[in-house]
């Protein structure tokens, strides 16, 4: 069992010696002389929880900047889908590698992915050291959409990572997957203990088409199909009214807010006030790097907090609240025993360089990290008790 001692690192305002044994934090107040296989000097650094990127299409990093500055529907139909149709397994592998590297360098320890070429994704995650929930994507008419045989594969699959990889069933959206198929997917998901991950209520067009086709808004439609529950993760939820917010809260749905993607594609402004007041579980994502245009969840925290302030109220979403969206709320959604720095919890975390000019002065560590920092302030990243990145 590996062990790491991080000496003299700032935690909750105090310099501490943090001992990690195996995958977990053993002690947050270890003796300076505690024995460990690896000793890291934490002087001039602070320890914060690692980030959970709750909505990615990781290998789409291959399409970063491709078809920029175009509205969502045209961007998907004219640029993204034709490009994807031509991707080989090798391309996907490169895309996943690039994405995993970017996430590790920007402080992310977990990503909830919805994309293709599962074997490549597994191979890369096994090597990168991150945690991932890999979505088995269903998308009517798409070249890489999965069929029922994938569920058989899961039954015999052995996790090469000792628990860092899990799966979701991921029907793309209500406008690309029929209602009947959504019901079948939900049944399969629940029979196999898999969460469901899909897009919902991203654009005005999606809402008006849903009303046209089903006589209901998207949240009511999914609810009528029986999909809403604590095991569903809905990316975007931009066009959700107060009544729908209450339904999402009551069903204990997990919402993934992707501020940069929604802003860049002009999808709309997330209804912070409704969703926070309704008590919804809100988490954060970047979306694919082809829309957002990176996988930097720390940056997404700043965008979310600032957009909430200008669109709703300056004191609705503090730096520490948005950090919870980016960490522990997401861990809870997946039942991962992490997302906070605490003894006994999974040893994930970010070593923040306090000597970086963007972290100076430091009246408020979390405020500096959310509002001022960038990836140049990230000195190292721990995941599952291992140092997966060091600047």
- Report the interhelical angle of 118-128 vs 89-105 (nearest 10°): 30
Question: Which tokens hold the place of 319?
Answer: 């730096």
| Segment (H or E) for 38 | strand 38-41
Shortest Å distance, C-beta 174 to a second copy: 22
Residues contacting residue 117 through CB under 8 Å, at least 6 positions apart = 59, 87, 89, 92, 93, 96, 144
| Options 126, 375, 386, 387; binder of a second copy; rule CB under 8 A | 375
| Segment (H or E) for 281 | strand 281-284
Instruction: Give the three-class secondary structure for 222.
Output: helix
Shortest Å distance, C-beta 305 to a second copy: 8
Question: Which tokens hold the place of 196?
Answer: 């469901």
Residues 341-370: x where in contact with a second copy by CB under 8 A, - otherwise, as a string: ----------------xx-xxxxx--xx--
Q: Which of residues 287-306 bind a second copy (CB under 8 A)?
A: 289, 292-294, 296, 299, 303, 305-306
Shortest Å distance, C-beta 370 to a second copy: 9
Measured distance CA(145)–CA(75) in Å, rounded = 19
Shortest Å distance, C-beta 5 to a second copy: 28
Q: Which of residues 312-341 bind a second copy (CB under 8 A)?
A: 313-315, 318-319
In angstroms, the Cα distances linking 130 to 118, 204, 226 are 15, 35, 32
Q: Does 205 bind a second copy (CB under 8 A)?
A: no
Measured distance CA(102)–CA(242) in Å, rounded = 36
Q: Which of residues 175-194 bind a second copy (CB under 8 A)?
A: none
Measured distance CA(287)–CA(257) in Å, rounded = 9
Q: Which stretch binds a second copy (CB under 8 A): 3-11, 147-155, 261-269, 330-338?
A: 261-269
Q: Does 374 bind a second copy (CB under 8 A)?
A: yes
| Options 144, 184, 190, 309; binder of a second copy; rule CB under 8 A | 309
| Segment (H or E) for 300 | helix 297-311
Q: Does 284 bind a second copy (CB under 8 A)?
A: no
Q: Does 77 bind a second copy (CB under 8 A)?
A: no
Q: Does 164 bind a second copy (CB under 8 A)?
A: no
Q: Does 269 bind a second copy (CB under 8 A)?
A: yes
Nearer to a second copy, 65 or 163 (CB): 65
Q: Can you spell out the DSSP letters for 57-118?
A: -GGGGGGTTTT-S--HHHIIIIIIHHHHHT--HHHHHHHHHHHHHHHHHTTEEEEEEEES-H
# residues near a second copy by CB under 8 A: 55
Nearer to a second copy, 288 or 349 (CB): 288
In angstroms, the Cα distances linking 386 to 40, 194, 281, 338, 381 are 12, 27, 29, 14, 8
Shortest Å distance, C-beta 275 to a second copy: 17
The residue written with tokens 């209450």 in the block is 246
Q: Does 372 bind a second copy (CB under 8 A)?
A: yes
Shortest Å distance, C-beta 76 to a second copy: 13
Contact positions vs a second copy (CB under 8 A): 61-66, 68-71, 98, 101-102, 105, 260, 262-269, 289, 292-294, 296, 299, 303, 305-307, 309-311, 313-315, 318-319, 357-358, 360-364, 367-368, 371-372, 374-376
């Amino acid at each position: 069992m590996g062990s790491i001692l991080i000496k003299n690192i700032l935690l909750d305002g105090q310099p501490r010696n943090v001992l990690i044994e195996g995958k977990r934090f053993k002690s947050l107040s270890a003796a300076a002389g505690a024995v460990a296989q690896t000793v890291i000097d934490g002087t001039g650094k602070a320890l914060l929880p690692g980030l959970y990127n709750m909505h990615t299409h990781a290998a789409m990093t291959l399409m970063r900047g491709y078809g920029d500055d175009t509205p969502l529907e045209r961007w998907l139909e004219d640029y993204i889908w034709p490009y994807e149709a031509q991707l080989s397994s090798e391309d996907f592998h490169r895309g996943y590698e690039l994405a995993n590297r970017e996430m590790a360098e920007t402080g992310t320890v977990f990503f909830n992915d919805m994309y293709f070429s599962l074997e490549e994704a597994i191979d890369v995650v096994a090597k990168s050291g991150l945690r991932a929930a890999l979505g088995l994507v269903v998308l009517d008419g798409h070249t890489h959409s999965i069929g029922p045989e994938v569920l058989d594969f899961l039954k015999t699959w052995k996790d090469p990572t000792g628990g860092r990889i899990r799966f979701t069933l991921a029907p793309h959206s209500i406008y690309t997957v029929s209602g009947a198929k959504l019901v079948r997917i939900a049944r399969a998901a629940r029979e196999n203990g898999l969460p469901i991950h899909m897009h919902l209520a991203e654009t005005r067009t999606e809402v008006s088409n849903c009303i046209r086709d089903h006589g209901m808004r998207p949240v009511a439609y999914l609810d009528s199909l029986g999909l809403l529950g604590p095991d569903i993760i809905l990316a975007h939820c931009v066009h959700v009214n107060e009544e729908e917010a209450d339904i999402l809260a009551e069903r204990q749905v997990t919402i993934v807010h992707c501020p940069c993607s929604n802003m860049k594609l002009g999808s709309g402004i997330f209804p912070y006030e409704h969703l926070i007041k309704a008590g919804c579980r809100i988490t954060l994502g970047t979306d694919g790097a082809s829309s957002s245009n990176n996988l930097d969840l720390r940056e997404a925290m700043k965008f979310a907090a600032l957009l909430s302030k200008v669109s709703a109220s300056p004191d609705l979403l503090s730096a520490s609240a948005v950090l919870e969206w980016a960490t522990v709320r997401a861990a809870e959604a997946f039942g991962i025993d992490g997302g906070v720095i605490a003894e006994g919890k999974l040893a994930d975390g970010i070593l923040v360089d306090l000597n970086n000019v963007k972290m100076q002065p430091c009246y408020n560590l979390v405020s500096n990290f959310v509002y001022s920092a960038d990836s140049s302030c990230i000195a190292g990243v721990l995941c599952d008790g291992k140092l997966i990145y060091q600047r």
